[in-house]
Chains A and B, each alone.
Chain A
């Protein structure tokens, strides 16, 4: 079989394949996943997510357990959307040695549910003092915090109203709220932003009505020393809803996680399928070709591998050896190759009896040449079909091992996202945006390859074709 023959048979195959709609749909989904992988860097809002998925400090400015932004569309109460205000109005006042810098942020609040947090961030050095003041649409002005920093060289100022302004907010509310509610209130249970963004009236602690309009947050930085520097002030409003797929309870952006998981799922699935199916096909052909005692021995070894309960063994091996993703792929290949052997062997037994095999043997062709040149090429279409069928299996097995917390901790896979979701009680708390997207991705990817594989299968087994 020459290369051009192979090309011909492949193009024949493609002509047949093109007629099967489901196969084309599968290919379309596969292409879609590939495009997502290629354009991953430009799709991700958090480019370092691949390396810092488990680094909590990388995600600290996101809201916690926030649903996707588009859920606002379906809900009668609009949740505030996350926003970054990084172009504030800047004012500098110099009074001799004392220098003052003001950042003025204007935030237009037009939602029913207040942001989870407002975070003021700036870079600088020295020992500046920071004051935050919020002016509300109703004219009330609240001093949120006054704090001295010692930043050293290239430090960072980070003020979160949620953590740092609890007492100030309660103090503000006590001017309007009934005494019985304010008295004995546990500050740790109060989110100050709920008070700050609600109408100043009785009930503003427990049943807030939103106060819409323009809020002005003024950050005043007082620098006393020559060496004190402050720059790049910005205000991060962490909303109640976030991004395309929301965030989990570790504040991680789930869209980033799901997109970053695509390449690993593809890699695990395709690599495992290619290696194990190739091994299985070669093994089956060799066993059938050699026949006799070799066939018996090889089939005995095959029987041992078939008798292994796959997933339990994978789980125990992962628990004992703590594999990296590459080792895991290797371990899966050790057990997956048995899949196509039986079918391949029976097909090869027929091929072996063909006259052209006999002819080439008579011409003095070596075993290797006969096996790889004359037998295996005939099995290539079948191999592709079984590869496509094995890909979803490999992806699901990796996800299952990861679900148990045994996955490779240096990468992000869908199984690991689901494992975190399960362990953090996302199911119990109804955080569906944490559970549905990664699992759905596994299912859709599995579906894509199932469509491709079943379409090929249909072409290869004309007997099952519908009349």
Chain B
């Protein structure tokens, strides 16, 4: 039963991914083709330049250039009608052939967009998953505390803080944190993944963690309030159900009522909430990386916008979309696992 649910959800996700890639291809087709044309011009010019000192006449060189250009146009299907070009581009993107970048290079010197993006992915995942794990642990703990005594001082004061930080951009807080902790009280580095030159062995590990503290701290300070507020609402909603009252009436210890009865029911929405928070946080705080010179995917957006490197920008977007959708699928699978009503198609 669960297997069928998994299959259905995964296929659904893949379909959505394909549709989105098609939409991207239609939206950004004009820009992307302009870039490809410019790249072809560049290649042909470089080839012609290398031939100019040989014995071939200029007329032949021009002719060769034209022919070469036509060849490359055919190779990239630029001679085909619009619909076919879009289809070709979408299929390329779906098979992760993002083409070559115009300016940006990966640290190994490759200018394949895929290499550049793949280099950035783990860095983003490390930063945000570390922050989110801490965030979720604190948020859950605080949320349960709040739900146990609703309306009391702790609940009220933390709710107020939740609203205060509600509209605060994470990158702005990051700027303040850097100003304070890296330039006034000099206890943390202002950014980067590790010191330069990077230390070896175990020292490298310590150094990385040292560089991770400030960005993670910023994300956690801003994040866990909202998490605890949502947890509180979910748990409080469950605690007001009739079966909790009957459990209490039967004399079951409060601890067991809370964790055995209450949390078991509240678990699926809480897990969903936590993971969804992870996803939206990665997608929503992506610019945050730049403030800390964290060379992940968010920083790649920044760099490719500054350098106007369209292939990297679009490749990065397609990959982010893929990751985002995979995250959503995993989320649903966990939810289905925790809440048996989902997988049989019943109403949640």
Q: Which of B16, B166, B314 has the most CB of A within 10 A?
A: B166
Task: Give the residues from 127 to 157 in chain B that come closer than 8 angstroms, CB to CB, to chain A.
Answer: 150-151, 155
On A, residues with C-beta under 8 Å from B are 22, 26, 303-304, 306-313, 315-317, 319-320, 392-393, 395-396, 399-400, 403-406, 418, 421-422, 427-428, 430, 432, 435-436, 439, 442-443, 445-447, 449-451, 454, 461, 463-464, 466-467
Q: Is B320's beta carbon under 8 Å from chain A?
A: yes
Say whether A449 contacts B16, CB under 8 Å.
no
In the complex with contacts A396-B169, A403-B287, A443-B172, A308-B20 CB distance below 8 A: yes
Distance in Å: Cβ of B129 to nearest Cβ of chain A: 16
Contacting residues, chain B, for A454 (C-beta < 8 A): 159, 162-163
Q: Which of B20, B236, B283 is A464 in contact with, Cβ under 8 Å?
A: B236
On B, residues with C-beta under 8 Å from A are 12-13, 16-17, 19-20, 27-28, 31, 150-151, 155, 159-160, 162-169, 171-173, 175-176, 178-179, 183-184, 190, 233, 236-237, 240, 283-284, 286-287, 291, 301-302, 304-306, 308, 310, 313-314, 316-317, 320-321, 324-325, 328
Say whether B306 contacts A405, CB under 8 Å.
yes
Which 4 pairs show the lowest CB-CB distances between chains A and B? A446-B167, A466-B151, A392-B167, A450-B166
In the complex with contacts A307-B20, A454-B163, A442-B172 CB distance below 8 A: yes
Say whether A307 contacts B240, CB under 8 Å.
no
Say whether B167 contacts A449, CB under 8 Å.
yes
Distance in Å: Cβ of B141 to nearest Cβ of chain A: 20
Q: Which of B173, B179, B291, B316 is A430 in contact with, Cβ under 8 Å?
A: B179
Contacting residues, chain A, for B184 (C-beta < 8 A): 430
Distance in Å: Cβ of A248 to nearest Cβ of chain B: 14
Say whether A312 contacts B301, CB under 8 Å.
yes
Say whether A310 contacts B171, CB under 8 Å.
no
Please measure, in the bound complex, the distance between the C-alpha atom of A306 and the C-alpha atom of B314, giving whole angstroms. Answer: 19
Please measure, in the bound complex, the distance between the C-alpha atom of A464 and the C-alpha atom of B178, giving whole angstroms. Answer: 38
Distance in Å: Cβ of A459 to nearest Cβ of chain B: 14
Say whether A311 contacts B286, CB under 8 Å.
yes
In the complex with contacts A442-B172, A443-B168, A312-B179 CB distance below 8 A: no
A sample of 26 inter-chain contacts (CB < 8 A) reads A22-B163, A304-B16, A307-B16, A307-B20, A308-B321, A309-B321, A311-B283, A311-B287, A316-B313, A317-B27, A320-B313, A400-B171, A405-B305, A427-B179, A430-B183, A443-B165, A443-B172, A446-B166, A446-B167, A447-B168, A449-B167, A450-B163, A450-B166, A454-B159, A454-B163, A463-B236
Say whether A418 contacts B172, CB under 8 Å.
yes
Please measure, in the bound complex, the distance between the C-alpha atom of A418 and the C-alpha atom of B237, giving whole angstroms. Answer: 41
Contacting residues, chain B, for A432 (C-beta < 8 A): 179
Please measure, in the bound complex, the distance between the C-alpha atom of A433 and the C-alpha atom of B31, giving whole angstroms. Answer: 39
Contacting residues, chain B, for A22 (C-beta < 8 A): 160, 163
Please measure, in the bound complex, the distance between the C-alpha atom of A445 and the C-alpha atom of B166, giving whole angstroms. Answer: 10
Please measure, in the bound complex, the distance between the C-alpha atom of A450 and the C-alpha atom of B184, giving whole angstroms. Answer: 32
Say whether B150 contacts A315, CB under 8 Å.
no
Say whether A312 contacts B172, CB under 8 Å.
no
Please measure, in the bound complex, the distance between the C-alpha atom of A435 and the C-alpha atom of B164, giving whole angstroms. Answer: 19
In the complex with contacts A404-B301, A439-B169, A454-B163, A312-B176 CB distance below 8 A: no
In the complex with contacts A454-B163, A466-B155, A320-B310 CB distance below 8 A: yes
Please measure, in the bound complex, the distance between the C-alpha atom of A404 and the C-alpha atom of B304, giving whole angstroms. Answer: 10
Q: Which of B167, B240, B302 is A404 in contact with, Cβ under 8 Å?
A: B302
Cβ-closest chain B residue relative to A439: B172
Distance in Å: Cβ of A265 to nearest Cβ of chain B: 10
Distance in Å: Cβ of B214 to nearest Cβ of chain A: 13
Q: Which of A312, A320, A422 is B316 in contact with, Cβ under 8 Å?
A: A312
Distance in Å: Cβ of B54 to nearest Cβ of chain A: 41
Say whether A310 contacts B240, CB under 8 Å.
no
Please measure, in the bound complex, the distance between the C-alpha atom of A395 and the C-alpha atom of B166, giving whole angstroms. Answer: 12
Say whether A436 contacts B320, CB under 8 Å.
no
Contacting residues, chain A, for B308 (C-beta < 8 A): 319
Distance in Å: Cβ of B277 to nearest Cβ of chain A: 14
Contacting residues, chain A, for B169 (C-beta < 8 A): 396, 399-400, 439, 442-443
Contacting residues, chain A, for B13 (C-beta < 8 A): 307
In the complex with contacts A442-B167, A445-B167, A427-B175 CB distance below 8 A: yes
Say whether A406 contacts B183, CB under 8 Å.
no
Q: Which of A316, A393, A451 has the most CB of B within 10 A?
A: A316
Distance in Å: Cβ of A465 to nearest Cβ of chain B: 8
In the complex with contacts A312-B286, A451-B163, A307-B324 CB distance below 8 A: yes
Say whether A435 contacts B179, CB under 8 Å.
yes
Please measure, in the bound complex, the distance between the C-alpha atom of A31 and the C-alpha atom of B53, giving whole angstroms. Answer: 74
Cβ-closest chain B residue relative to A466: B151
In the complex with contacts A435-B179, A454-B163, A403-B16 CB distance below 8 A: no
Say whether A404 contacts B287, CB under 8 Å.
yes
Cβ-closest chain B residue relative to A318: B305
In the complex with contacts A464-B233, A466-B150, A422-B175 CB distance below 8 A: yes
